[in-house]
Amino acid sequence: MSPGSSTGTVLEEETTEDSDLDSGWQTILFNCECHTFDAVERQLIKAIRCTLSRARAISWEVHSKGSSVVYKGARERCEAVADVLGSIGLIVNVSQ
């Protein structure tokens, strides 16, 4: 990701139910140099309904560590999160 300024609407963070957390599925976002922090943060806010602050923390983790688990829950929801992130060409993986 490349640096950029970020503006966005703060939304309520998505929460998962305990049964979703036990499902063992996760969505992983991988680093790439072709998207700005701003673009990644906007997609994270859309995909996991997180705050801008949380999106910034996740984007920095992806940038510095190479990847981050951005969502854990039911398979269908993990795939939906991956679809939103992947819609702008971000590299994502859903695994158990």
Digit-coded pLDDT (tens) for 47-69: 999 999 999 999 999 999 999 99
- Beta strands at 25-30 and 91-95: parallel, antiparallel or unpaired: antiparallel
H runs (alpha helix) in 1-96: 18-21, 37-48, 52-65, 75-86
Strand order in the sheet with 25-30: 67-73, 25-30, 91-95
**pTM beyond cutoff 0.85:** no
pLDDT, position 23: 75
Query: Does the pLDDT at position 79 exceed 70?
Result: yes
